[in-house]
Amino acid sequence: MKILSYNVRGLGTFEKRNEVRKLVTDNKPFVLCIQETKMGTVDEMLVSTLWG
């Protein structure tokens, strides 16, 4: 079991998404919990940029 938790302080910018993606590829968590996305809606597109 592996969980990654991150208060990202806004997921709007490309750099932040890239950082999260790097965290996911490096750590390969089962579940990823992000706080403070500062985004009204999250769509499939965004998730796929995070997880691929």
14 is a site residue for other proteins (CB under 8 A) = no
Taking the CB of residue 17, how many other CB atoms lie within 10 A of it?
15
- One residue of 12, 25, 40, 42 binding other proteins per CB under 8 A: 42
36 is a site residue for other proteins (CB under 8 A) = yes
- Give CA–CA dist 38/44, Å, rounded: 17
49 is a site residue for other proteins (CB under 8 A) = no
25 is a site residue for other proteins (CB under 8 A) = no
Tell me the two tokens of residue 10: 């806004």
3-state secondary structure of 21: helix
Binding residues for other proteins, total number by CB under 8 A: 29
